[in-house]
Each structure stands twice: as C-alpha cells, then as structure tokens.
Amino acid sequence: MPEVQKITQIKGFGITTASGVVAELGNIKEYRTPKQMIKMAGLSLTENSSGQKKGKMSISKRGRKDLRKILYQ
C-alpha cells in the first residue's frame, strides 16, 4: 500500500508499525487534518479541572487503544 511506504519514511517507523497504523486508521486520505488522526488515536490533550481548580493536562484516551499501543511500541 502506498500509505505504508510513505509512513516508513518517517524516522523510527518500520514496516510493522506503519502497517499497524494504516490498519487502525484506514484510508489516511479520508482525514482532512492531522488533528483528526490524533483524536482517533485518543492522543488529544484534555484539561482535568473544576470550577476553582485548574488541573493537569493529560491525553484523553478516547480513541483506539490498539493504535495507541502500536505507536507506543
């Protein structure tokens, strides 16, 4: 697949990681912005705060856990 070949050009991405990313995301051309792919992986930042207290920023983890696992490994 041409997407896998393009992803393997990124330093640190091998054929296994690239094929896993494409398998989880599907056709990459369907995403209009990189932000959509980040949100699909559950890697977008959210703030954990209440009315008076400002909390820490952390990832949302509302996405595909297998995609996060592939990117982590």
The string of pLDDT tens digits covering residues 4-40 is 888 899 899 999 999 999 999 888 889 999 999 999 9
The reported pLDDT for the residue numbered 1 is 81
Question: Could you please report the per-residue DSSP string of 2-69?
Answer: HHHHHHTTSTT--HHHHHHHHHHH--GGG-SSHHHHHHHHT--EEE---SS----EEE---S-HHHHH
pLDDT digits (tens, 9 = 90+) for 54-70: 888 888 888 889 988 98
Residue 51: pLDDT over 80: no
The residues spanned by each domain of the chain are 2-72
- pTM, two decimal places: 0.72
Q: What pLDDT does 11 receive?
A: 92
